[in-house]
Amino acid sequence: MAKVENDFLRNQLQERRQKLEAALAVPAENQALAELLQEVDSALERMGQGTYGICETCHESIEPGRLIADPLVRYCLDHLSEAQQRALERDLELAAQIQRALLPPTDLRVPGWQIHYHYEPAGPVSGDYCDVIHSEHGAGNLHFVLGDVSGKGVAASMVMSQLHAMFRSLTRVGLPLEQLLGLANRLFCESTMAGLYATLVCGRATGAGEVELSNAGHLPALLVHNGEVASIEATGLPLGMFCDGQYSVKRLNLEKGDSLFFYTDGVSETRDPSGVEYGLARLAQFVKQCGGLRPEGLTSSCLAELTAFASGTPRSDDLTILVLRRAD
């Protein structure tokens, strides 16, 4: 286990121990709290012995994401009891329902814009982040964000939920986009476990077709204009890498029929049966050919293209596509 993860989990266990001791100081007996305190002490003891995070059945490493979600787990997924497996399945399904509820409507029509996205987790929950936030300052004005949290599974999905709450709050403040990203980065650094980061693209659009775009270490956005495609590269480091990160803004004026195409690496890193990646160049060429389609048509055509390219190869990563089109 990485040192940053081990230190984080040790701190989590010690904090929980302190809270349990405080609760047990109340005169009323609480057997459940006493047993939980014993579990925490046992976990800290195993940490001191160097056996923490090791499955007690097969002696292999327990999945890091599960340890972060619950530092008291003692068995890997392969050696949970039937009851524990059913409980885990219920928890994952509930987490998936909560995550789906955080997503905006799939199709949006606001003055000046047509918007469509596709969000497809590789497992029950996803570390991809996608949101469209209507502005309170003028019809057709909106913020949009698409990103990808490092890692996979439950831990990444928890960070995705954190980003959702953060941007929903910050976009209402009315900060310039570069300041918004800088503040989001600082908050993310200060509230997230060391070693976790998120790449993302954040933008602001007006009903008149004006777009501001800032890319925090994410894949290039694709601008479709007059049948041509231009890549808009990253303008800063991913959120969470350095607390004092700075972000610049690209300003665009989209004409009627122009589109912006955003995606996560589940798109560009789709593989065929021989292991070859779909790649950024192939994606840009495809978007150029189909860029005249409306957002839902472009998205569905891209998904069909990826399915044909993969030829049955299982997908191993979350996949998200977001398309904004200047309305005719």
Report residue 236: phi and psi, to 5°: -165, 175
Alpha-carbon span 24 to 199, nearest angstrom: 43
* pLDDT at res. 134: 87
* pLDDT at res. 244: 86
* pLDDT at res. 260: 98
* Span 111-170, pLDDT tens digits: 899 999 999 998 888 889 999 998 766 556 899 999 999 877 777 888 888 899 999 999
* Span 171-200, pLDDT tens digits: 988 899 999 999 999 999 888 776 788 999
**Interior/surface letters 203-218, b for 16+ CB within 10 angstroms, e for the rest:** bbbbbebebbbbbbbb
Residue 24 has pLDDT above 80, yes or no: no
Minimum mean pLDDT among 71-75, 84-88, 174-178: which range? 84-88
* pLDDT at res. 40: 87
Determine contact, residues 113/324, Cβ cutoff 8 Å. yes
pLDDT band for 312, please (50, 70, 90 cuts): very high
Q: Which position has the higher pLDDT, 129 or 78?
A: 129
Q: Which position has the higher pLDDT, 197 or 31?
A: 197
What is the number of residues in the chain? Answer: 328
Report residue 164: phi and psi, to 5°: -60, -50
Alpha-carbon span 118 to 61, nearest angstrom: 34
Determine contact, residues 264/243, Cβ cutoff 8 Å. no
Report residue 203: phi and psi, to 5°: -140, 165
CA distances (Å), origin 231, targets 247, 250, 320? 18, 12, 18
